Amino acid sequence: MDPVTGGASAGKTPQHYEAIIIGAGQAGPALAGRLSDAGMRVALVERKHFGGTCVNTGCMPTKTLVASAYAAHLARRAADYGVALQGPVRVDIARVKARADTVALNARHGVESWLRGMANCTVYQGHARFTGPHDIMVDGQALSADRIFINSGGRAVIPDLPGIAGVPVLTNVGMRDLDVLPRHLVIIGGSYIGLEFAQMYRRFGSEVTLVEKGPRLIAREDEDISDAIRGILEAEGVQLRLNADDIRFAPGDAGQIDVRTHAGQAAVQASHVLVATGRRPNTDDLGLDAAGVAIDARGYIVVDDGLATNVPGIWALGDCNGRGAFTHTAYNDFEIVAANLIDGGARRVSDRIPVYALYIDPPLGRVGLTEAAVRRSGKPALVGTRPMTRVGRAVEKGETQGFMKVLVDAQTRQLLGAAILGTGGDEAVHGLIDTMSAGAPYTTLRDTVHIHPTVSELIPTVLGDLKPLV
């Protein structure tokens, strides 16, 4: 029987493995590698594209598009650097898409080739569904295992807004298929995905309107971060409609989409609409009830600190468990499970420090608590800030938007959190991440010599000029 397609075997003895992994996202393939290296017979099941969201519709293709948008933006600023270009900058969106497709496909094929060539690992391509705590079916092929690991990922949600069912709308997946430049892109949702696409397509040349129900962008961030990002986007011509109290849709003239955002305010005429309002886990069609696996009210699989479900021998990793919504947290889930099962470790999800980035330009690198969270905690704290206009590396590059902010526990001298909104912020923040992970006092980083000229070298300067948080 060909394991790629499976075959009719209902009622027959299941093919038994020591481990089954459902999903080839960030955690699944790496876990397959560790388990197979440990001598276990492994089956990995993938229903569609190898590599998961990051490789196919998320990080890799999206950041490739961001890079193309940055190149266009920099080309338009060429005169600022003493560089003369002949004629206006033009974006070939079909070639931009082709480049992103190539990056994603190369990565996808790399993951699939690795898995198919992996010793002790059999790849099944099809839809996995539980038939019991240790049994699954893959398009008619019965499989069983002592251990089953769910890495089924998540998908974008389209909210039930008035009129939305009657007009064509896109998610981040649909945006990947566009090979034409939208005349006017309306984005619903002022958080990370929405902001990245807003700046990206504005730089490609589209008119862009971003709609957010709340009073400000990315509400989970501090207000100073939110305000700075708003200024960056508005300076590039992104139109914002905040406090949107009446979002509704209707077919418009000449194939356009009328998007109303506020009661009594004229609708925006969009050529394309991107909905970026949230995601949900891919758990509704796995047959989890047949295995007795518990899920929460939002559909996420309930796991403990070691990522085990309530059913012995079943674990859940990545976006489907609600314990992280990033590629790096999914990969860390793999590391935790592998360390605990194979290496005799005792790693826990609760030990990891919250870290993430927002990939507008300039990027935002974030670690630990926000200032608002520190204030809510009541901890006596110190804070240090520095505008990017006073960072030599940013000045030399002509990219001085944004600022740094670091928060420290005044009593323990431990770093509590930091935000670097500025050129290289997504990289520079890692010095803070590492110091926090090591449990070292902030003075360790403050007293460390950094390379000049870099963005990172100003972090010790910020830490040397802390003030009480009042």
193 shares a domain with 139:
no
Residues 261 and 294 grouped into a single domain: no
Using the 3D structure, point to which of 308, 334, 351 is the last residue of a domain: 351
The residues near 375 (Cβ < 8 Å, ≥ 6 apart) are: 469
Preceding peptide of 380 cis, ω within 30°:
no
pTM summary value: 0.94
d(CA 465, CA 112): 50
Same domain, 345 and 294: yes
- Residue 366: DSSP 8-state: E
CA 36 – CA 403 distance, rounded (Å): 46
Count of CB atoms situated within 10 Å of the CB of 108? 18
3-state secondary structure of 103: helix
Task: Please give the positions annotated as active site.
Answer: 452
Query: Is 10 among the domain residues?
Result: no
Query: What's the CA gap between 337 and 345, in Å, rounded?
Result: 9
- Which single residue is written with the structure tokens 């047949």? 290
Q: What is the CATH number of the domain that holds 459?
A: 3.30.390.30
Q: Which amino acid is at 337?
A: V
- Are residues 135 and 175 located together in one domain of the fold? no
**What is the residue range of 458's domain?**
355-468
Which DSSP state fits 322? S
Instruction: State the CB neighbour count (10 A cutoff) for residue 277.
Output: 22
Is residue 74 a part of any domain in this protein? no
Residue that is last in its domain, among 218, 249, 277: 277
Same-domain check for residues 307 and 445: no
Where a domain ends, among 226, 245, 277?
277
Same domain, 146 and 125: yes
For residues 385 and 443, membership in a common domain is answered with yes
Q: What is the Cα–Cα distance from 137 to 139, expressed in whole angstroms?
A: 6
Longest CA pairwise span in the chain (Å)? 74
- DSSP letters for 212-255: -SSSSSSTTS-HHHHHHHHHHHHHTT-EEE-S----EEEE-GGG
Element (H, E) at 381: strand 381-387
Q: What angle do CA 22, 352, 376 make, to 5 degrees?
A: 125
| Whether residues 341 and 293 fall in one domain | yes
Are both 253 and 402 inside the same structural domain? no
pLDDT at res. 445: 98
The answer as to whether 62 is a domain residue is no
- Residue 237 within a domain: yes
- Residue 421 burial by CB count (10 A; 0-12/13-18/19+): exposed, middle or buried? buried
Q: Which of 165, 159, 180 is nearest to 272 (CA)?
A: 180
22/51 same-domain check: yes
Q: Which amino acid is at 174?
A: G
Together in a domain, 146 and 113: yes
Examine residue 89 and state whether it is found in any structural domain, yes or no.
Answer: no
User: Residues of 444-468 as b/e, b for ≥16 C-beta within 10 angstroms?
Assistant: bbbeeebeeeebbbbbbebbeebee
Cβ-contact 363, 232 below 8 angstroms: no
Q: How many CB atoms within 10 Å of residue 317? A: 34
Report the C-alpha gap between 120 and 346 in whole angstroms: 26
Number of domains in the chain: 3
Are 178 and 257 in contact, with CB atoms under 8 Å apart? no
pLDDT at 27: 97
Helix 223-235 / helix 192-204 crossing angle, nearest 10 deg:
20
In a domain, 426, yes or no: yes
Q: Is residue 72 part of a domain?
A: no
Q: What is the pLDDT of residues 378-430, one digit of tens each?
A: 999 999 999 999 999 999 999 999 999 999 999 999 999 999 999 999 999 99
Which pLDDT score is estimated for 2?
A: 46
Same domain as 347, residue 363: no
Domain presence at residue 450: yes
Distance CA 99, CA 96 (A): 5
The two structure tokens encoding residue 17: 């493995």
* pLDDT of res. 8: 39
Cβ–Cβ < 8 Å for 300, 321:
yes
For residues 44 and 57, what is the distance between their CA atoms, to the nearest angstrom? 21
- Alpha-carbon distance of 87 to 460, in angstroms, equals 44
Whichever domain contains 172, its CATH number is: 3.50.50.60
- Low-confidence residues in the chain, pLDDT < 50: 1-2, 4-10
Structure confidence at residue 325 (pLDDT): 87
